[in-house]
């Protein structure tokens, strides 16, 4: 693949908050301890303390989750190495989208794998394991129950509720699979041989990236949740996470940055089969929203002690939970993820948990040969792929026309004529000034209408070029959203089976540019 690089600020796809973080704006530095560069990992390694007991629990849980699944030699080595004190993880997380969902899921994982490789070269005395954290506890099924391919939406309809990782691949799913007969065999095998969605995702991610040593972690486990008890109790009774996150949020807003997440007094869900609902406290009673479940203070303390797996962290506490149970050094995320983590450093400090290096994932745009050909015909550079169509069209028509479509000279003549005559006749009758002004406005409106007619005529003349540009821009941003957030991997993978290997060769986790690839 031929690779081009475009400055992120020139794409129009990123907030000033995110761009300021990458640039290292001084005012943001109190909200994170490590800059996103390879030198920062020296301090991150020094700061990360992780007990042998936690390592053994993590290794045991992963051994259990991978039971019956064939691991590559490198994945098995990585799993076994987790009990060693010089092994660290680098992590990305994502929802359980069907068939990987949008392309950026793939970009997250490739960035994470390549970060582990880069760190291995830079710090050979340590071992680095790439991790994909499955968002099995998420309950927003509508966000993950479909994927888009060649403009068509493929969707699974089911009445199941609760944590999506527990969703059973039942008769409704088998019916859905009939509509995706074109899918690669690895996906069909993963789904057909699994009972739940989380099981299937673990299998296909292992098939896609297991040879690179990627490990898949599911935090929905009682042994892992047991390490989270102190945070759960603090959140339920003292609301420390809320206070710390709220304080940081207010400070960031004073700097002009919009909040990405909104902490609550209680940032936990109650989790059981078919149920994931918020916990609220009313007086001395803890209630589970949209259920009849109620707990006294002593009952909920007992529940935390005996069944910590029934407490599911929301977006405020999930990063804290992740960093408690992994020997983790870095989290790789998209622009919204990176900046919402900045609201959480004080929560980490409260529980004396080292804050990881926040790494933006790689961003990419894929061009097939048809798109490249149209670009060449338009004489476009890669930067032009991110222009606003209407703005570009206006400038394009202006440069192509032999006429002054704005009728500037004619407008000046009209304005001068009416203003001069108004001045000359003002001594005869003061009301004539207003009459001439009204005449000027009407005449200029007529010229505007004529100019618009000229523009439309020129657009018809340039219809081929305009259509070509619109097609390219729609290809790069379907429906106005970036390609990587809409298009599924299979749109390219089915035709270019070596695509993932090309990504692994081309992505640089420390290159903060939009990567534009010409696929050949």
> What's the pLDDT band for 462 if we cut at 50, 70, 90?
low
pLDDT value of position 458: 59
pLDDT value of position 398: 74
- CA-nearest of 128, 251, 289, 136 to 198 is 136
pLDDT value of position 417: 80
pLDDT over 70 for what percent of the chain? 95
Q: Is the pLDDT of residue 393 over 90?
A: no
For the segment 371-375, the average pLDDT, to the nearest whole number, is 94
pLDDT value of position 245: 97
Burial group, residue 116, by CB count within 10 angstroms (0-12, 13-18, 19+): buried
CA atoms within 13 A on the CB side of 149: 21
pLDDT value of position 420: 80
DSSP characters over 325-379: HS-EEEEEE-HHHHHHHTT-HHHHHHTT-PPPEEEEPPEEEEE-HHHHHHHHHHT
Q: List residues bridging with 287 in a β-sheet.
A: 280, 294
For the segment 94-103, the average pLDDT, to the nearest whole number, is 96
Q: Please say whether the beta carbons of 318 and 91 come within 8 A.
A: no
> What's the pLDDT band for 328 if we cut at 50, 70, 90?
very high
Q: What is the 3-state secondary structure (H, E, C) of 125-138?
A: CCEEEEEEEECCCC
pLDDT value of position 440: 77
> What's the pLDDT band for 416 if we cut at 50, 70, 90?
confident
pLDDT value of position 361: 98
Q: Please say whether the beta carbons of 515 and 506 come within 8 A.
A: yes
Q: Is the pLDDT of residue 8 over 80?
A: yes
pLDDT value of position 240: 96
Taking phi over 0 as left and psi of -120 to 50 as alpha, with beta for the rest, 57 belongs to alpha
Burial group, residue 64, by CB count within 10 angstroms (0-12, 13-18, 19+): exposed
Q: Is the pLDDT of residue 461 over 70?
A: no
Q: Please say whether the beta carbons of 240 and 350 come within 8 A.
A: yes
For the segment 436-456, the average pLDDT, to the nearest whole number, is 74
pLDDT value of position 400: 63
For the segment 278-293, the average pLDDT, to the nearest whole number, is 95
pLDDT value of position 396: 76
Q: Is the pLDDT of residue 237 over 90?
A: yes
pLDDT digits (tens, 9 = 90+) for 60-92: 999 999 999 999 999 999 999 999 999 999 999
Q: Is the pLDDT of residue 340 over 80?
A: yes
The β-bridge relationship of strands 285-288 and 294-295 is: antiparallel
pLDDT value of position 368: 94
For the segment 213-234, the average pLDDT, to the nearest whole number, is 97
Q: Please say whether the beta carbons of 453 and 446 come within 8 A.
A: no
pLDDT value of position 144: 94
pLDDT value of position 70: 92
> What's the pLDDT band for 214 if we cut at 50, 70, 90?
very high
Q: Please say whether the beta carbons of 232 and 304 come within 8 A.
A: yes
Q: Is the pLDDT of residue 19 over 90?
A: yes
pLDDT value of position 409: 65
> What's the pLDDT band for 402 if we cut at 50, 70, 90?
low
> What's the pLDDT band for 163 if we cut at 50, 70, 90?
very high
Q: Is the pLDDT of residue 443 over 80?
A: no
Q: Is the pLDDT of residue 246 over 90?
A: yes
Structure tokens at 144: 């993950």
Ranking 174-188, 271-285, 392-406 by mean pLDDT, the lowest is 392-406
pLDDT value of position 71: 96
- CA-nearest of 278, 299, 300 to 290 is 278
Q: Could you say which DSSP state residue 141 is in?
A: G
Domain definitions of the chain by residue range: 2-228+313-361+499-518, 369-487
pLDDT digits (tens, 9 = 90+) for 112-142: 999 999 999 999 999 999 999 999 999 999 9
Q: Please say whether the beta carbons of 310 and 303 come within 8 A.
A: yes
pLDDT value of position 408: 67
The β-bridge relationship of strands 275-282 and 268-272 is: antiparallel
For the segment 152-159, the average pLDDT, to the nearest whole number, is 95
Its pTM stands at: 0.90
316 vs 455, more confident: 316
Mean of pLDDT over the chain: 92
Return the ∠ at Cα 328 (arms to 357 and 265), rounded to 5°.
Answer: 80
Q: List residues bridging with 417 in a β-sheet.
A: none
């Amino acid at each position: 693949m031929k690779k081009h690089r475009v400055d992120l600020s020139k794409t129009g796809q990123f907030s000033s908050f995110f761009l300021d973080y990458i640039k290292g704006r001084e005012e943001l530095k109190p909200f994170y301890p490590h800059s996103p560069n390879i030198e920062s990992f020296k301090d991150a390694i020094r700061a990360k303390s992780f007990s042998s007991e936690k390592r053994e629990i993590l290794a045991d849980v992963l051994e259990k989750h991978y039971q019956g699944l064939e691991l590559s030699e490198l994945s098995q080595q990585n799993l076994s190495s987790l009990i060693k004190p010089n092994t660290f993880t680098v992590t990305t997380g994502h929802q359980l989208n069907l068939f990987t969902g949008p392309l950026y899921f793939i970009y997250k994982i490739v960035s994470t794998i390549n970060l582990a490789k880069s760190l291995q070269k830079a710090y050979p005395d340590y071992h680095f394991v790439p991790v994909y954290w499955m968002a099995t506890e998420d309950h927003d099924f509508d966000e993950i129950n479909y994927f888009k391919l060649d403009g068509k939406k493929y969707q699974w309809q089911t009445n199941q509720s609760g944590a999506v990782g527990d969703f059973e691949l039942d008769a409704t799913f088998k019916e859905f699979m009939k509509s995706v007969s074109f899918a690669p065999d690895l996906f069909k095998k993963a789904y057909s041989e699994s009972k739940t969605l989380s099981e299937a995702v673990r299998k296909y991610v292992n098939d896609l990236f297991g040879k690179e040593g990627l490990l898949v972690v599911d935090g929905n486990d009682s042994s892992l949740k047991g390490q989270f008890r102190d945070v759960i109790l603090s959140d339920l009774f003292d609301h420390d996470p809320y206070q710390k996150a709220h304080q940081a949020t207010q400070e960031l807003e004073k700097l002009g940055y919009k909040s990405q997440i909104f902490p609550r007094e209680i940032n936990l869900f109650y989790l059981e089969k078919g149920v994931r609902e918020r916990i609220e406290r009313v007086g001395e009673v803890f209630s589970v929203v949209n259920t009849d479940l109620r707990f006294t203070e002593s009952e909920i303390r007992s529940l935390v002690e005996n069944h910590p797996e029934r407490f599911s962290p929301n977006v405020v506490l999930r990063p804290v939970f992740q960093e408690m149970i992994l020997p983790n050094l870095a989290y790789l995320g998209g622009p919204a993820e990176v900046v919402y983590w900045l609201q959480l450093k004080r929560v980490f400090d409260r529980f004396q948990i080292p804050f990881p290096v926040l790494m933006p994932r790689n961003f990419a745009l894929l061009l097939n040969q048809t798109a490249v050909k149209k670009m060449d015909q338009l004489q476009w550079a890669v930067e032009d792929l991110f222009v606003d169509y209407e703005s570009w069209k206006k400038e394009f028509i202006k440069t192509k026309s032999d006429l002054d479509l704005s009728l500037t000279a004619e407008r000046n003549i009209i304005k001068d004529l009416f203003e001069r005559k108004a001045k000359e006749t003002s001594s005869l009758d003061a009301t004539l000034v207003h009459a001439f002004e009204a005449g000027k406005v009407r005449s200029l409106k007529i010229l505007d209408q004529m100019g618009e007619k000229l523009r439309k005529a020129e657009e018809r003349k340039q219809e081929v070029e305009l259509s070509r540009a619109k097609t390219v821009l729609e290809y790069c941003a379907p429906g106005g959203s970036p390609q990587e957030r809409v298009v599924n991997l299979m749109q390219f993978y089915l035709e270019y089976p070596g695509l993932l290997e090309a990504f692994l060769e081309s992505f640089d986790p420390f290159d903060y540019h939009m990567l534009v690839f010409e696929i050949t």
